[in-house]
């Protein structure tokens, strides 16, 4: 029943939830304080300003999604298996955190400057993916004009359907929630097949 979190951690967790739900501009310090069950002045005591608190919250949210991807990209498995594992794992991860993609896309466009610090801090580095892809291209196993296109295609196919869910669910599934859940579950194999079909040597 009692949470073992100290006040500082409790604030950051509350801030993460509220920021993801409402974005930076839509979030007030009071709402975060309410969510954390504490006084508003405490937010400023632990985190000097809204910006500072946001930066830490954003960074922590962002870092939730990096290590899993990094781990898979860096693993020594067959390239197609790597794609299959990444797509399946990532769609699962995104479905569990459905508001995060929209939140991140919103905030990077609002203030791109925060990115530089956060990306380096999170340790984002897809170079192992690029190296593996280039090797497969050189070996003639896959056909694609550039590993960068392939990388962004994979990300697009995984992330967009969740970021744009309310829109897509409405115009493609007449807003039927259950159908969209099944649809997303299907995508865990569907997207991999689509990608592999697109790039494998004929």
Tell me: does residue 162 bind DNA (CB under 7 A).
Answer: no
Which listed option, a second copy, DNA, none, makes contact with residue 163 (CB within 5 to 8 Å by class)?
Answer: a second copy
Cβ-based nearer residue to a second copy, 38 or 99: 99
Closest CA to 187 of 153, 161, 164, 163: 161
3 state SS of 142: strand
- Least distance (Å) between residue 17 CB and DNA: 15
Token pair belonging to 2 = 């009692």
Cβ-based nearer residue to DNA, 59 or 74: 59
Contacting positions for a second copy (CB under 8 A): 22-26, 99, 102-106, 108-110, 112, 115-116, 119, 124, 126, 143-146, 148-149, 151-153, 155-157, 159-161, 163-168, 170-173, 175, 183, 186-187, 190-191, 193-195, 197-199, 202
Among 1, 2, 3, 41, binds DNA (CB under 7 A): 41
What is the pattern of x (binds DNA, CB under 7 A) and - over residues 44-63? xx--xxxx------------
Which listed option, a second copy, DNA, none, makes contact with residue 45 (CB within 5 to 8 Å by class)?
Answer: DNA
- The beta-carbon contacts of 187-190 under 8 Å, at least 24 apart in sequence, are 187/87, 187/91, 187/157, 187/161, 188/87, 188/88, 188/91, 188/92, 189/84, 189/88
Which listed option, DNA, a second copy, none, makes contact with residue 40 (CB within 5 to 8 Å by class)?
Answer: DNA
3 state SS of 160: helix
- Other C-beta atoms lying within 10 Å of the C-beta of residue 30: 10
Cβ-based nearer residue to a second copy, 5 or 131: 131
Residue entry with tokens 């984002």:
124
CA distances for 6 relative to 10, 13, 15, 30, 180, angstroms? 6, 11, 14, 19, 39
Which listed option, a second copy, DNA, none, makes contact with residue 92 (CB within 5 to 8 Å by class)?
Answer: none
Cβ-based nearer residue to DNA, 17 or 187: 17
* φ, ψ (nearest 5 deg) of residue 110: -70, -45
Q: Contact residues for DNA (CB under 7 A)?
A: 7, 27-31, 38-42, 44-45, 48-51
């Amino acid at each position: 029943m009692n949470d073992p979190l100290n006040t500082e951690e409790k604030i950051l967790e509350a801030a993460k939830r509220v920021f993801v739900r409402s974005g930076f501009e839509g979030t007030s310090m009071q709402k975060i304080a309410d969510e954390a069950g504490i006084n508003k002045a405490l937010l400023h005591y632990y985190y000097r300003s809204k910006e500072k608190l946001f930066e830490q919250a954003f960074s922590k949210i962002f870092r939730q999604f990096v290590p899993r991807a990094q781990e898979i990209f860096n693993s020594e498995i067959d390239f197609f298996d790597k794609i299959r594992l990444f797509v399946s794992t990532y769609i699962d991860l995104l479905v569990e955190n459905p508001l995060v993609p929209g939140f991140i896309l919103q905030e990077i466009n609002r203030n791109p400057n925060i990115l530089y610090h956060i990306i380096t801090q999170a340790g984002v580095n897809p170079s192992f993916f690029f190296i593996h892809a280039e090797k497969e291209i050189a070996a003639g196993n896959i056909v694609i004009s550039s590993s960068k296109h392939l990388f962004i295609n994979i990300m697009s196919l995984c992330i967009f359907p969740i970021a744009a869910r309310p829109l897509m669910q409405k115009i493609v599934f007449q807003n039927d929630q259950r159908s969209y859940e099944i649809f997303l579950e299907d995508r865990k194999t569907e997207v991999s097949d689509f990608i592999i079909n697109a790039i494998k040597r004929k």
